[in-house]
Amino acid sequence: MRPGRQLAVLGLIFVVLYLLVFFAGGASGGLKDRLEPKLGLDLVGGTRLTLEATNSVDGQPPTAENLEEARQIIESRVNAFGVAEAEVVTEGNRNIVISLPGENRDLTEVGSAAELRFRKVLKAADGSGTAPAPAATPAPGGSATPAPSGSAKPSGSAAPSGSAAPKATASPSGGQGGMAPAPSASASAAPSATPSAGAATPTPSASEEPVPQSVEEQRKAVEQKVGAAAWAAANGLKSPADLAADPSLAEKLKPFAGLDPREVAVLPATMQFNVPQISCAQLDKRPPASISAPDQQVVACEDGAAKYLLDQAKVLGTDVEDASAVLDQTSQWVVSLDFTGAGQDKWTGLTREAFNNEGQACDATALGQDGKCRVAVVLDNEIVSSPEIQGVLTGNSQITGSFNQGDASALAGQLRYGALPVTFEEQEQQNVTATLGASHLRAGLLAAGIGMALVIIYSFFYYRLLGSVIFLSLVLSALLVFGALVVLGRQIGFTLTLAGIAGMIVSLGVAADSFVIYFERLKDEIREGRSPRSAVPRAWIRARRTIISANAITLMSAVVLYVVSVGAVKGFAFALGLATVLDLVVVFLFRHPIMTMFARTSAFLSPRVSGLGRALPPRTAEPAKPRNPRVKEA
């Protein structure tokens, strides 16, 4: 063979690779900047959040299109923070991973669905989870229903957590009063089937509400858990006040207090509202998208204390054209909402219904202090506020509340970029300081250095001259891997993490195995009587299959691990596979050619120098030539 050709090909690969490192797209700055690979947040510090897509109906993973759309929306929300080099990627068919290298920030809200709903408050009740005590004396007028000012939740404008006020003062339409509108808008999302707000709102029973088959099966499981008596008692309730008239119901309904939030979420909205034992603590922890259906009545809580039965959503987040965080006239941060043309008409119609209480849809417990209906603005499962509507609003609105600049900007970003097509649950949020990241990097590099040094020391001790082949091969592999990391980081966004460094350390063992296979096979050939020069190519042919098979198994393991894993394990698998492939390149283009060249040297024939030890036959000294005998003359 001609070893110079293989070595020339290897040299060409190095030239091309490092031209890409120094001059390809994304290469900028000084020499150090151009040689710096893209490091993960566990090496430089930052925040990583893993979100898992969920489906409250059938439990199936989202479509690839929906997951990608969600990724783009989340990326837009993260970029709205103004951070640099944020990374939002999908992993598998359910997960989205958000990484902010160098940033420690709470990312929980970027994964919220941000489904905005405007709903009338139809009824209000206590959400503490305790049954109402029997009234000692009848309420004025003989009604067991509290008066408007005596509802379980402070009514109307009593300390709402957020409000929606018109940008410009708009006088109420139809001559109904002369008060300038000062409503507040709160967002809550909770599905449950009910008629529209214009009717007298008879609430459907559990048997009347159409539900998917999977939800119906979950309801049956809940019915079995609480028992037939409790289920029948809950179905018979017309309002939470029924327990005041019949105290024996409280004992029957106790099993509902033991339901977890997922079980509560599948109950009919009327049951969630009427059963006092179902508390706001349970309702607030329902899975995402539990109350997102806009054409159903829902139940949601405000401030964790008041439980509301809410009407169908007449105005949605899709009716909002733009949202921005601004300071109002009192120097408080608010979220300004600009409605679309059709959305503005819907908003005006909703405020008209609430102001006039059309069809008497809002009962006495839900009215504000001025006797007007309230509108709850619902964001996902949370009521932001539920102000009393004091006029028909014909202009845009603001969501006000106890916002700081960050909160208002985050909410505005959620609304501006739209609701996610998929609901997510937070799986893991990791915060790593820059100091800890630097410590991880030093530890990883130290471990890699120690591993390589031990391999080289052992190879020189055992193989002597052949140890130099191992040393040079490992150095060349390291240079190839490093250059590939820099280029891949710029071109495809590959990020080197601590797990990736671990994968490269493991690859050192794979490379060392290749040397052992080759060198031991070379010894076998020499023991069989072949000269070193002829033993090198024969040993290569026989060892090549084993080397390829061993590396192929490692590579397949890395590929399988990369496909089925997520997070740091995926980085480990990628680094291991990359190092294995480049080790094969060095084996074919450097190790065998350099061994062919060594076989032609005199040092290779010395057992003490070559490292072949007892495989080489000992050199024997040539027999001394007999001296010519001198014939003595007689």
Closest CA to 532 of 618, 604, 597: 604
* Structure token pair of residue 221: 């499981």
Q: Which residues pair with 90 in a beta bridge?
A: 96
User: Sorting pLDDT into bands at 50, 70 and 90, what band is 305?
Assistant: confident
pLDDT over threshold 70, residue 276: yes
List, for residues 324-343, the tens digit of each pLDDT value.
Answer: 888 888 888 888 888 888 98
Give the pLDDT mean for 144-163: 34
Which of 43-47, 137-141, 276-280, 321-325 comes out lowest in average pLDDT? 137-141
pLDDT over threshold 90, residue 119: yes
Which of 207-221, 471-485, 593-607 ranks highest by mean pLDDT? 471-485
pLDDT over threshold 80, residue 602: no
Give the pLDDT mean for 589-594: 86
Residue 604: predicted pLDDT: 67
Q: 61 or 273: whose pLDDT is higher?
A: 273
Residue 607: predicted pLDDT: 63
Which of 2-11, 304-313, 558-567 ranks highest by mean pLDDT? 304-313
Kindly give the residue spans of alpha helices, DSSP state H, lying in 492-531.
498-527
Which of 196-200, 243-247, 370-374 ranks highest by mean pLDDT? 370-374
pLDDT over threshold 90, residue 121: yes
Kindly give the residue spans of alpha helices, DSSP state H, lying in 24-108.
31-34, 41-44, 64-79
Q: Can you give the three-state secondary structure of 142-169, one letter per residue?
A: HCCCCCHHHCCCCCCCCCCCEEEEECCC
pLDDT over threshold 70, residue 194: no
Using DSSP, state whether 101 is helix, strand or coil. Answer: strand
Residue 605: predicted pLDDT: 63
Which of 79-83, 121-125, 385-389, 560-564 comes out lowest in average pLDDT? 79-83
Give the pLDDT mean for 363-386: 86
User: Sorting pLDDT into bands at 50, 70 and 90, what band is 617?
Assistant: low
Residue 84: predicted pLDDT: 58
pLDDT over threshold 90, residue 231: yes
Using DSSP, state whether 607 is helix, strand or coil. Answer: helix
* Structure token pair of residue 619: 């050199």
pLDDT over threshold 70, residue 144: no
List, for residues 375-432, the tens digit of each pLDDT value.
Answer: 998 888 888 878 888 888 887 777 776 788 888 887 787 777 767 777 788 887 777 7
Kindly give the residue spans of alpha helices, DSSP state H, lying in 237-340.
242-245, 248-252, 261-265, 269-274, 280-283
Residue 85: predicted pLDDT: 63
Q: Which domains does the chain have, with CATH numbers?
A: 3-38+433-615 (1.20.1640.10), 44-111+426-431 (3.30.70.3400), 116-131+147-405 (no CATH)
Which are the contacts of 99, defined by CB distance < 8 A and separation ≥ 6?
40, 41, 46, 47, 48, 86, 87, 88, 89, 495
How high is the mean pLDDT of the chain? 77
User: Sorting pLDDT into bands at 50, 70 and 90, what band is 630?
Assistant: low
What's the pTM value of the predicted model, to 2 decimals?
Answer: 0.55
Give the pLDDT mean for 19-44: 79
Give the pLDDT mean for 111-126: 86
Cα–Cα distances (Å) from 137 to 140, 141, 143, 307, 403, in that order, read 9, 11, 11, 25, 43
